[in-house]
Amino acid sequence: MATFPLFAVHLSDGALATAWWASGFAGLAVMLAVAMWKVREEDVPRIGVLTAAFFVASSVHIKLAVLPTSVHLILNGLVGVVLGRRAPLAIAVGLGLQYLLLQHGGLTTIGINACIVGVPALAAGALYPVLRRLRVHSFVRGVLLGGGAVAGAVVLNFLALLLGGKENWERLAQLVLVAHIPIVIIEGLMLGVLVSYLEKVKPEMLGSS
């Protein structure tokens, strides 16, 4: 059976109606305007490192044995927790490089893909200090935000395919949810370990405003 690129969180050209991918660029413009407001010089290296991590993680595909597709890590939870409102900068640049260098995703869908990945990243960044003030254990915080950010991206991707698809992608949209369950678990555990470690050795990296 062939691999279907629509199963991936990065939607391809031609998958969505014009109004949907056009609105994605509008949403991305708003996120970037907020993200670029008063960027400090010391923010640039951190944004660069997270952009590289996002680019590499999203470029490595893992074939699933039980479904005719592959999935990949997203790391939007990590990007959100570390960069906060700057997260859309790393995500937009990473998506652009993936399309230009690897033909992953689509040109017309860069905006909607950035919204699908970036909105949960912003939510993770906003929730991190809240959970910390509530004294939720660092590992649990990471698990919730890492897995939750991926789950949020998958749900938004599901809704975009279901409601804005050029064709009837209902079956594919449902399989997207199933295919990414392992990624939700893996990224939750990964961010749980990373948050626990960074809070001990470099806590200033987390909860960026």
Whether 147 maps to a domain, the answer reads yes
Domain containing 75 equals: 11-205
Whether 4 maps to a domain, the answer reads no
Structurally, the chain folds into a number of domains equal to: 1
30's tokens: 């708003």
Rounded Cα distance between 129 and 115, Å, is 22
Give the domain CATH number at 117.
Answer: 1.10.1760.20
In three-state secondary structure terms, 70 is strand
Whether 40 maps to a domain, the answer reads yes
Distances (CA, A) of 51 to 2, 26, 116, 171: 30, 21, 16, 32
> What was the pLDDT predicted at 188?
95
pLDDT per position in the chain (209 positions), as tens?
334 454 567 888 888 999 999 999 999 999 999 999 988 888 899 999 999 999 988 877 666 655 555 678 899 999 999 999 999 999 999 999 989 988 877 899 999 999 999 999 999 999 999 999 999 999 999 999 999 999 999 999 999 989 998 888 788 778 878 888 888 999 999 999 999 999 999 888 887 54
> What was the pLDDT predicted at 1?
35
Distances (CA, A) of 95 to 7, 10, 110, 121, 204: 17, 9, 7, 14, 27
Whether 2 maps to a domain, the answer reads no
Whether 5 maps to a domain, the answer reads no
Tokens 């059976």 found at = 1
